[in-house]
Structure 1
């Protein structure tokens, strides 16, 4: 791999792992459990915070990890998907792990895979391989606490193999991945709530009374200590293009907090992280200082979520990839910048997403839209499919340009505000494209 840049080396490593993995998504824990056994159970060597939900998982996870890091704890952070490089998926003390360690860990994991006859016949998926690799990397690095963002699921998600969970956070739940999680919001919620564990504190962001009742019933049935975020008053939310300020009463009265992440919804994600840290005080007394919590939150970094790339014109990257997430993004754009500017969206989506409902939101908000495609992404929706869906919901003010570089130039020209959204894969491709420009 000599002569390659680190980003290219990570891309090569990802292809190597992909070549050994089962294709697609195959929910279940048996393959990963068998692989972890071959690796002498690295997942048993650290405590974990497990974060599940539909939207806001990554923002909540990164906020909590930043707080724990500020408190002096050696904390790992596992998230998915990555935007540009595989190394983004795992951080320790806020930093990506070295490529050399990833390469060594990949060698170990693939040797273990090859040593087991059953795994050779039925190998884990790429996400399962990466999760096993993360377990190994955290053990090798001496990590004792890690924040794990679940993939798309809950009960059968690879991260649910974690045996030493000390806190479960459930972010807002919405309709997504229905082919795997269920066709109703209730079925999806039950898949998420299934990760609750006996004796472990669980906090749900809530927002839907019916789902909140289901959560509390599941917590009681499973023996978990269930709490709703609404038990901690959150108010005074103020959104600007520099971040989100709010007040939260954790224990002894309301305190002012600030997150550099943009949008009203980020106040909820930040409050989830702060309450999570508050619960973790029982394990880590250094979290007792609320000034530490505030400083840690204010240093959160989470790219690709209402990320401002330019201010003249305003160019925003956001990975909203379902109607619930895009609704929050569009509301945030209006809250912060108003509706008087000439607003355009550069939009691409995965073929299996409900992009028809997302496009209806652009029609309601009177946006101009440019449809494009993510390069070399077989799962992406074509501009023809996006145009057909747009016409079906009455969105008429759109253009199509499948080449991403041309689409970006077309979209940004003459606009006061450009929102690039619809998929984290689009965000990652644009970040790479604009860096190279």
Structure 2
């Protein structure tokens, strides 16, 4: 990679992390521009990949460079993309590889999106790389609008970082869709993964799982093996199979996690919830295919027209067992125990992932003692159907339901810049909060069999207001502890975590010792 042109741009003293974040935020599309873009979504989407290539070229990175110098794993899907990538990264790191991992969105600080060996870039590293990418892009603009938007810039920066860090593997999580996603400049991945599909981003991808599957399948490449889960909804699995046949790539369906040969180990995942079993199995297959690219499953020619071939389970060794057990992915099935309350945070934001979240919360919060009072803190944004997301939560029997926006009002200027969202106005966020609350009330979501039950339902303009209410009016007035579930939006989860853990200690993984016994 020829980076001599970009190396001339050093990170000056004033160009620190805070300045980088502030400058990066200028690349966000504001609410008015975003609405205009939605009206021309197809035209906008089609230009994503060629524009990403154009900006990569401006900083000295060609697609040939990526093909030749970066071994990649590319993962799309609706649910579990981040978790699957996190499992995969941990497994390969425990195999001794230097890993790069690009994901979105971030929970609190944008540097979380680019990780080396499982750790987010430090503020100093982020600032250095940011200005090395930003400055030449700014200098070579054709006009005042000729700069990549936020996500496109971060994708370009991720490629730059991984090439300069000389990682052994670069794992890329798709942002939205796949076919027109900026990450799809990857032409020759080592292996492709497609996680569970479902309805999300319907205004951009389509309102059926089959239409969405077309976009997700867009990252499949000729002769590159693709792995997916077998229980895809509707006819989406057939869509993936048709794409595989069309471009002549092998498509495999991963086995159940307990079908692998675990002895002398036991199944032990760093991420909680039964839903993580399929993500872990997919990660095992992706990791094995990356480490052993010549391993293929024989399949009869006649099967090429129908369903994927079952991928074979294999013997689990220490790197896989330890890697799965030590996987840490903040904001997903995460528990924080505080004085007087336990917070269960999960960024579920589709009907299927909310179902999985409910199962996890009910199991994780089960207590043999007196049942704690249960509190819901919820928000959802975009074009998501609040009623579909709220319905499964009825099974949790909440005593209090709190609704708030994703707005965080903090004195920490650095954190507030990281969480700044210009793509929706404050007024729109507060209006959506009230819509979510009204959907809960109008649907009469309250504990089953308790017609006289008086559930407290409130809406707040900010996350701070909701947490202040929990601390000042619920924690202090309850003899028993509270169980608080925070869900519906990753941005909500990030805001809550930033207030509960201002030092961001949750970003560091907590190792779990692995032996032949469950830790």
> Which piece of structure 1 moves more, 192-201 or 114-123?
114-123
Higher relative contact order (CA 8 A, sep 6+): 2
Does residue 1:257 correspond to 2:260, yes or no?
no
Task: State the match for 1:387 in structure 2.
Answer: 437
Q: Distance in 2 between matches of 1:10 and 1:168?
A: 33
Instruction: Give the C-alpha shift of residue 38 in structure 1.
Output: 1.1
Q: Deviations over 1:108-160 (max 9, x none)?
A: 32233234444743432200000001111111112231111111210011111
- The corresponding residue for 2:60 is 40
SS at match of 2:132: helix
How big is the shift at 1:275? 1.6
Of 462, 466, 469 in structure 2, the residue corresponding to residue 407 of structure 1 is 466
How far is 1:370 from its partner? Answer: 0.7
SS in 2 for 1:264: coil
How far did residue 205 of structure 1 move? 1.6
Report the equivalent of 1:75.
99
Deviation, structure 1 residue 434: 1.4
CA contact under 8 A between 2:270 and 2:327: conserved in structure 1? yes
Instruction: Verify the 8 A CA contact 1:114 1:120 in the aligned structure 2.
Output: no
1:17 alignment partner in structure 2: 24
2:160 matched to 1:139?
A: no
Residue in 2 that maps onto 1:276: 286
In the TM superposition, what is the alpha-carbon distance from 1:364 to its structure 2 partner? 4.8
Give the conservation status (yes or no) of the 8 Å contact 2:263–2:316. no
- Are the equivalent residues in 1 in contact too, given 2:20–2:131 (CA < 8 A)? no
Query: Which residue is 1:162 aligned to?
Result: 186
Bigger strand fraction: 1
Moved more, 200-209 or 12-21: 12-21
In structure 1, what is the Cα distance between the partners aligned to 2:459 and 2:271? 31
What CA distance in whole angstroms lies between the structure 1 residues aligned with 2:238 and 2:264? 26
Distance 1:317 1:223, change over 3 A: same
> Which whole-Å deviations, capped at 9, do the CAs of 1:50-92 have from their partners, x for residues lacking one?
0100111111111110000000011111111111111111111
2:309 aligns with none
Distance 1:321 1:11 in 2: 30
Deviation, 1:290, is 1.8
What runs of 5+ residues in structure 2 fail to find an aligned partner? 1-10, 38-43, 296-313, 409-420, 447-454, 504-519
Displacement after TM superposition at 1:13 (Å): 1.6
Structure of higher CA gyration radius: 2
Separation of aligned partners in 1, 2:290 and 2:225: 9
Q: 2:249 aligns with which of 213, 224, 227?
A: 224
Q: CA RMSD in A?
A: 2.9
Q: 1:425 aligns with which of 477, 484, 491?
A: 491
Runs of 4+ in 1 over 6 A off after TM superposition: 1-4, 252-255
Structure 1 residue aligned with 2:145? 121
Distance 1:394-1:46 versus aligned 2 partners, 3 A rule: same
- Seen in structure 2, the aligned counterparts of structure 1 residues 119 and 223 have a Cα distance that, compared at 3 Å, is farther
Match of 1:354 among 372, 377, 385: 385
1:29 — aligned with what?
A: 49
1:21–1:123 contact (8 Å) kept in structure 2: no
Match of 2:364 in 1: 336
- TM-score (normalizing by structure 2): 0.74
- Aligned equivalents of 1:83, 1:338: Cα separation in 2: 27
Is residue 405 of structure 2 the alignment partner of residue 373 of structure 1? yes
Instruction: Render the CA deviation track for 1:300-349: whole Å, top value 9, x for unaligned.
Output: 11110111001753311111122221111001112333495532211122
